[in-house]
């Protein structure tokens, strides 16, 4: 009878430990879900459609401003939701005219181009890229690039350009040597035959 009492005590102890672990896991999960819901409610992120300029400027990507005719605003709003574009329609104070400005982020630029093209607007022209400026010579040459120091591998012995053999002179000598040869004469093949 003593053995069955120990088994019963052990079963009660194990069930209490399992219950305690389940309660700890459930409390941790509730804590994490509460933190997630609180963060989502505070951030109030909108992914597509019309938004406020304040929410648009929170994103660090550069802004894109495109002109839009007043009569196309309704059609633009419908298409912007379909294309998934976050935008603001703005008209500067004191400006009256036929156009308004559509402000969005650079990440939506490709979608905006497609949308505007679908509405019949021409694609914006890209400015021609300027020729990249090559790096000029540095004011103070690096230690290893200085002609006095050499490259560190071996000391540089030549100081004059006359000591270096001329490629033009060598080409002229080769032309003189081949002037008297027959161009159709067979030449000796130095390749290996297997």
- Residue 105 in contact with residue 61, Cβ under 8 Å? yes
In the 8-state DSSP scheme, what is residue 193? -
Residue 188 sits at the vertex; the CA angle it makes with 185 and 189, to the nearest 5 degrees, is 125
Give, for all 194 residues of the chain, the pLDDT tens digit: 577 788 888 899 999 999 999 999 898 998 888 887 777 766 655 555 676 677 777 777 888 888 888 888 889 888 888 888 888 888 777 777 788 888 888 888 888 888 888 888 887 676 666 766 666 666 665 555 555 555 555 555 555 555 677 888 888 888 888 887 766 666 666 666 66
For residue 129, what are the β-bridge partners? none
Q: What is the pLDDT of residue 48?
A: 57
Could you tell me the CATH number of the domain that includes residue 57? 3.30.1370
The total domain count for the chain is 1
Whole-number Cα distances in Å, 82 to 49, 75, 78, 85, 118: 9, 11, 7, 8, 12
Residue 39 within any structural domain of the chain: no
Q: Does residue 157 sit within a domain?
A: no
The answer to whether position 186 is within a domain reads no
What SS3 state is found at 164? coil
Phi (first) and psi of residue 59, to 5 degrees: -75, 130
Q: Is 155 helix (H, G, I), strand (E, B) or coil?
A: coil
The continuous run of DSSP H or E covering 102 comes out as strand 99-105
**What's the domain range around 56?**
50-118
Q: Is residue 38 part of a domain?
A: no
What the block records as the tokens of 64 is 């894109």
Q: What angle in degrees, to the nearest 10, is found between the helix axes of 109-118 and 73-83?
A: 130
- Note whether residue 182 is domain-resident: no
150 within some domain: no
Q: Would you state the structure tokens that stand for residue 95, as one six-digit string? A: 């400006």
Q: Is the pTM of this model over 0.75?
A: no
Q: Residue 156 domain-assigned? A: no
Spell 38-76 as b/e; 16+ CB within 10 A means b: eeeeeeeeeeeeebeeeebeeeeeeebebebeeebeeeb
90 occurs within a structural domain: yes
C-alpha distance from residue 128 to each of 56, 121, 131 (Å): 29, 21, 9
């Amino acid at each position: 009878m003593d053995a069955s009492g120990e088994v019963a005590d052990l079963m009660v102890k194990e069930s209490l430990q399992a219950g305690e672990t389940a309660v700890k896991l459930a409390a941790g999960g509730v804590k994490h879900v509460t933190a997630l819901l609180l963060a989502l409610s505070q951030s109030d992120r909108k992914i597509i459609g019309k938004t406020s300029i304040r929410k648009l400027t929170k994103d660090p990507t550069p802004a894109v401003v495109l002109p839009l005719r007043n009569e196309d605003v309704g059609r633009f709003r419908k298409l912007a939701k379909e294309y998934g574009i976050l935008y603001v329609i703005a008209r500067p104070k004191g400006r009256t005219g036929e156009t308004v400005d559509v402000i969005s982020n650079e990440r939506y630029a490709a979608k905006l181009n497609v949308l505007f093209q679908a509405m019949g607007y021409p694609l914006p022209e890209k400015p021609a890229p300027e020729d990249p400026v090559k790096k000029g010579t540095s004011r103070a040459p690096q230690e290893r690039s200085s002609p006095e120091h050499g490259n560190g591998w071996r000391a540089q012995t030549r100081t004059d350009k006359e000591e270096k053999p001329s490629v033009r002179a060598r080409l002229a000598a080769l032309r003189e040597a081949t002037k008297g040869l027959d161009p159709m004469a067979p030449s000796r093949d130095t390749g290996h035959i297997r």
